[in-house]
């Protein structure tokens, strides 16, 4: 009887997957890219060609992080070794964005519950570990700011381990570089807040 209780206790322990604290204790992560599937671009005068943005720039911003990894240094900003860079999933999702609804001139936001709903649609082959994805809420040309949910999640269950809406400031010239600068700003701000976030989850 005692042996059975011990076995059950062990099964419960090992089936817990990752807790919120583990998102910060984990030493390795997989980078899944920048997900624009629920994003809105605010300011029609600044975003004049939504079809072009979907077909070119969504991928360009994801490639920018990989191509200029010395600047967009995920390992430095999040203090973890990146064992895999896989933007295949978000590339497919971004290609399906409805361009008719992409650009707006009104306020737009969604909460953390939507982040989990987005992750629930992810088809992943990975069995364990921690993933990091940036889920874009909006690029706001009127304010020259981006709003992105920095999200750690359990690869085996797709459960959100930690997500935080982070504001980034646009910088640089050209469409690609300006909003690429805002993504970098989100990384920099995340770095400054890592200890505070970890303490909130402990």
- Whether residue 119 has pLDDT greater than 70: yes
Q: What is the mean pLDDT of residues 55-75?
A: 97
As a whole number of angstroms, the distance between CA 182 and CA 57 comes to 14
The per-residue pLDDT for range 141-183, each reduced to its tens digit, is 999 999 999 999 999 999 999 999 999 999 999 999 999 999 9
More confident residue, 16 or 6: 16
Q: What is the pLDDT of residue 1?
A: 47
At residue 95, the pLDDT reads 97
pTM value is 0.90
- How far the first Cα of the chain sits from its last, in Å, is 35
Q: What is the predicted pLDDT for the residue at 200?
A: 83
- The pairs formed by 52-59 with CB atoms below 8 angstroms and a separation of 24 or more are 53/99, 53/102, 53/175, 54/94, 54/95, 54/97, 54/99, 54/102, 55/95, 57/175, 57/176, 57/179, 58/34, 58/91, 58/94, 58/95, 58/97, 59/91, 59/94
Which of residues 202 and 108 earns the better pLDDT score? 108
For residue 57, give the DSSP letter. I
Question: In whole numbers, what is the pLDDT of the chain averaged over residues?
Answer: 91
Pick the closest to residue 124 from 22, 198, 30 (CA basis): 30
Confidence of residue 18 (pLDDT cuts 50, 70, 90): low
Which pair of tokens denotes residue 164? 């935080």
Arithmetic mean of pLDDT, 100-127: 94
Asked if pLDDT for residue 117 goes beyond 90, the answer is yes
């Amino acid at each position: 009887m005692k042996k059975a209780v011990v076995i059950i206790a062990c099964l419960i322990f090992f089936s817990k997957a990752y807790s919120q604290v583990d998102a910060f204790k984990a030493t390795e992560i997989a980078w899944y890219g920048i997900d624009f599937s629920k994003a809105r671009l605010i300011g029609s005068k600044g975003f004049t060609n939504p079809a072009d943005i979907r077909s070119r720039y969504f991928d360009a911003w994801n490639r920018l992080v990989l191509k200029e990894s010395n600047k967009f240094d995920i390992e430095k900003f999040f203090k973890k070794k990146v064992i895999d860079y896989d933007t295949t999933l978000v590339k497919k999702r971004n290609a399906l964005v409805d361009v008719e609804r992409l650009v707006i001139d009104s306020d737009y936001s969604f909460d953390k519950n939507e982040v989990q709903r987005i992750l629930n649609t992810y088809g992943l082959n990975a069995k364990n570990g921690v993933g990091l994805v940036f889920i874009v809420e909006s690029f706001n040309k009127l304010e020259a700011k981006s709003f992105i949910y920095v999200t750690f999640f359990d690869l085996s269950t797709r459960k959100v381990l930690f997500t935080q809406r982070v504001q980034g400031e646009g910088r640089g010239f050209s469409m690609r570089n300006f909003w690429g600068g805002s993504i970098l700003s989100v990384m920099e701000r995340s770095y400054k807040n890592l200890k505070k976030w970890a303490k909130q989850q402990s």
